[in-house]
Amino acid sequence: MAESLTLVVLCSRRGYGANSFGGAQQASNGMPPLSMAPEYNILAAIVQWVEQGIAPSSLYAVYWNHNNVTDGVGFVRPLCQFPKSLRYNGGNQSTPEGFTCV
């Protein structure tokens, strides 16, 4: 049986979500991923999986302040594999270490 990866990105009604993780439309709109490393870029993660057999274990998305990369990073969040959802555990809300997928 082949492994599969299903990601669901949900935006909260309470505010902006981390919405930049390597999609072509995101990059063309001036919101590139935080890094080209597979853990921050979904395309790089898929290429690594296909070419090296290393399935993604985690993926992170960034929210650029005002949706503009020149305004700097607002926060970084883990993206959770469906059906898991993001839970805040405490600590710095701008870094992924304060969150887990449950």
- Residue-wise pLDDT tens digits, 56-66: 888 998 888 88
Q: With 90 as the cut, is the pLDDT of residue 99 above it?
A: yes
What pLDDT score was predicted for residue 21?
A: 73
CA gap 67, 71 in Å, rounded: 8
Q: What's the confidence (pLDDT) of residue 27?
A: 59
Q: What is the average pLDDT value for the chain, to the nearest integer?
A: 79
Please report the pLDDT score of residue 29 as a whole number. 64
Mean pLDDT of 38-45: 88
The reply to whether the predicted model has a pTM over 0.85 is no
d(CA 2, CA 24): 26
Would you state the pLDDT for residue 13?
45
Mean local confidence (pLDDT), 24-31: 61
